[in-house]
Amino acid sequence: MGTEPWRASLELRVGAERRETERLLVLLGEIESRGLATAAGFPSLYACLTGSLGFSEVDAVTKLKAARACREFPALRRLLRSGRISMATISAIGPHLCRDNWKSLVRMTAGMPSARVRRIVASFSPREEPRQSVRYTDPGEAPLPRRVEIAFGAREDFLGRLERARALLRSKYPSGRFEDIFDEAIEALVEKADRGSPGRPLEGRRARIGVERPKGRYVPQAVRREVWRRDGGRCTYRASDGTRCEETTRLEFDHVMPFALGGPSRDPDNIRLLCRGHNQFRLRHGNG
């Protein structure tokens, strides 16, 4: 049976495809680790694959996860090449591999149908938590506001931080009610997020009349508005060939001359819009 021409032909093609897949994953791992797609003006390698290369989102994620796993555990490449494990399986188990478990996990899942691999991987993930919910517990009577009950699941370390906040604020909130802790935390978070949010006007925030905003890294609203307008609400990163990044979401105000090196926050010429990917790229690879 092994000598039938169709079979020999098929095996030849399948073998060639596996080798090509391995090369593709190695290349993707290399491109990602060196930040080459970001350097060329893409917010991420994922954006490059799904954008200009026409990959589907699922395909791009599958290949990127498999590429990362192969980079971290190069022995997977040989198994992929020989057909003992599929790219889909590598991609599924990739995020769960560590030095201690990779051999046993590969042995367990190699050659297994993907539905069973998914079941195994699901057993590593946290159990399904109660869905987060908000419900009104009492109708409220003017002038008293209505009361609500908020529920959500969280990691244990979150609880640790919550308990620590409660202990630190004990003198301010002796009853230790979660509502008080969250209220203060959320207010500080909104304040902080609002400062970091491009183009957001000051209106609607709690008035701080007569209180100077802290000087330093903080970019004043007037400067933000000017920079936002000047940069057209878009990442300003340009690749060496002149390609400009097209990202218009997840933008951050970046100091051209870093604040730590004396770069001013109040001079619009020293502030620019960068997407998250390019801001991180600049931090890793120097000014771009």
Nearest Cα to 40, choosing from 273, 244, 276?
244
Structure tokens at 273: 């819009």
Enumerate residues 6+ apart whose C-beta is below 8 A from 286.
none
> In this chain, which of 46, 237, 253, 281 binds Zn ion, going by CB under 5 A?
237
Question: Which window, 99-107, 131-139, 204-212, 267-275, contacts Zn ion (CB under 5 A)?
Answer: 267-275
If the CB atoms of residues 43 and 94 are measured against Zn ion, the closer one turns out to be 43
If the CB atoms of residues 121 and 275 are measured against Zn ion, the closer one turns out to be 275
Q: How far is the CB of 48 from Zn ion (least distance, A)?
A: 12
Torsion sign over Cα 196, 200, 205, 210:
positive
Q: What is the CA radius of gyration of the chain?
A: 26
If the CB atoms of residues 22 and 247 are measured against Zn ion, the closer one turns out to be 247
- Distance between CA 73 and CA 56 in Å, rounded? 25
Q: How far is the CB of 234 from Zn ion (least distance, A)?
A: 8
Q: How far is the CB of 285 from Zn ion (least distance, A)?
A: 13
The length of the chain, given as a count of residues: 288
> In this chain, which of 63, 68, 195, 278 binds Zn ion, going by CB under 5 A?
278
> In this chain, which of 93, 245, 251, 271 binds Zn ion, going by CB under 5 A?
245
Structure tokens at 282: 């600049």
In the region spanning residues 27 to 86, those forming contacts with Zn ion, defined by CB under 5 A, are: 43
CA 7 to chain centre: 44
If one counts every other C-beta atom within 10 angstroms of the C-beta of residue 97, the result is: 18
Q: How far is the CB of 34 from Zn ion (least distance, A)?
A: 17
If the CB atoms of residues 197 and 249 are measured against Zn ion, the closer one turns out to be 249
Cβ burial, residue 38 (10 Å; 0-12/13-18/19+): buried
Our finding on whether 275 is near Zn ion (CB under 5 A) is: yes
> In this chain, which of 247, 253, 273, 281 binds Zn ion, going by CB under 5 A?
247
If the CB atoms of residues 247 and 254 are measured against Zn ion, the closer one turns out to be 247
If the CB atoms of residues 106 and 235 are measured against Zn ion, the closer one turns out to be 235
> In this chain, which of 235, 251, 271, 273 binds Zn ion, going by CB under 5 A?
235
Enumerate residues 6+ apart whose C-beta is below 8 A from 57.
50
Beta strand spans in the chain (E): 133-138, 147-151, 251-255, 271-275
Question: Which window, 92-100, 115-123, 132-140, 233-241, contacts Zn ion (CB under 5 A)?
Answer: 233-241
If the CB atoms of residues 38 and 270 are measured against Zn ion, the closer one turns out to be 38
CB 255 within 8 A of CB 271: yes
Q: How far is the CB of 278 from Zn ion (least distance, A)?
A: 4
Structure tokens at 24: 């593709």
Instruction: List residues binding Zn ion (CB under 5 A).
Output: 43, 235, 237, 245, 247, 275, 278
